[in-house]
Amino acid sequence: MAEANLSCVKEFILLGFSDLPNFQEILFGIFLVIYTNILIGNGLIILLTNYDATLHTPMYFFLGNFAFLEICYTSVILPRMLSDLWTQNRSISLLSCATQLCFFLILVVTESLLLAVMAYDRYVAICKPLYYTLIMNHKVCVQLVIASWISGIPIMIGETYQVFSLPYCNSNVLNHIFCDMPTLMKLACGDISGSEVSVYADALLFAFTPFLLILYSYTRIFITIQKLPSVMGRSKAFSTCSSHLMVVGLFYGSGLITYLKPKTSYMAVIDKMLSLFYTSITPFFNPLIYSLRNRDVIMAMKNYCLNEQGLEDLK
- Written as one letter, the residue type at 34 is I
Distance CA 119, CA 136 (A): 12
Per-residue pLDDT tens digits for 19-41 = 777 888 898 999 999 999 999 99
Q: Is the pLDDT of residue 77 over 70?
A: yes
Stretch (H or E) spanning 196: helix 193-203
Per-residue pLDDT band for 295 (boundaries 50, 70, 90) equals confident
Q: Is the dihedral of CA 218, 220, 223, 225 positive or negative?
A: negative
Residue 6 in any domain: the answer is no
Per-residue pLDDT band for 2 (boundaries 50, 70, 90) equals very low
Task: Check residue 262 and give its pLDDT.
Answer: 59
More confident position, 76 or 166: 76
Q: Tell me the CATH number at 102.
A: 1.20.1070.10
- Written as one letter, the residue type at 142 is V
Per-residue pLDDT band for 6 (boundaries 50, 70, 90) equals very low
Residue pair 187/168 in contact (Cβ under 8 Å)? The answer is yes
Distance CA 82, CA 27 (A): 9
Residue pair 181/163 in contact (Cβ under 8 Å)? The answer is yes
Q: Is the pLDDT of residue 315 over 70?
A: no
- Return the number of other C-beta atoms located less than 10 Å from residue 244's C-beta: 23
- 1-to-4, 31, 40, 73, 176 alpha-carbon distances in Å: 5, 31, 42, 32, 19
Say which residues have a Cβ less than 8 Å from residue 110's Cβ, sequence separation at least 6: 69, 148, 149, 151, 152
Residue pair 26/283 in contact (Cβ under 8 Å)? The answer is no
Residue 232 in any domain: the answer is yes
Per-residue pLDDT tens digits for 198-246 = 877 887 888 889 999 999 999 999 998 888 777 776 777 777 788 888 8
Of 79, 73, 75, 77, nearest to 109 (Cα)? 73
Per-residue pLDDT tens digits for 117-172 = 999 999 999 999 899 999 999 999 999 999 999 998 999 999 899 888 888 776 78
Task: Check residue 272 and give its pLDDT.
Answer: 77
Q: How many domains does the chain have?
A: 1
Residues spanned by the domain of 124: 11-314
3-class DSSP state of 85:
helix
Stretch (H or E) spanning 174: strand 173-174
Distance CA 16, CA 261 (A): 20
Residue 40 in any domain: the answer is yes
Task: Please give the DSSP secondary-structure letter assigned to residue 16.
Answer: T
Distance CA 252, CA 281 (A): 14
Task: Check residue 3 and give its pLDDT.
Answer: 41
Residue pair 111/43 in contact (Cβ under 8 Å)? The answer is no
Residue 5 in any domain: the answer is no
Say which residues have a Cβ less than 8 Å from residue 74's Cβ, sequence separation at least 6: 35, 38, 279, 280, 283
Task: Check residue 64 and give its pLDDT.
Answer: 92
Per-residue pLDDT tens digits for 240-289 = 788 888 888 888 887 777 666 655 545 667 777 778 887 888 888 888 88
Residue 2 in any domain: the answer is no
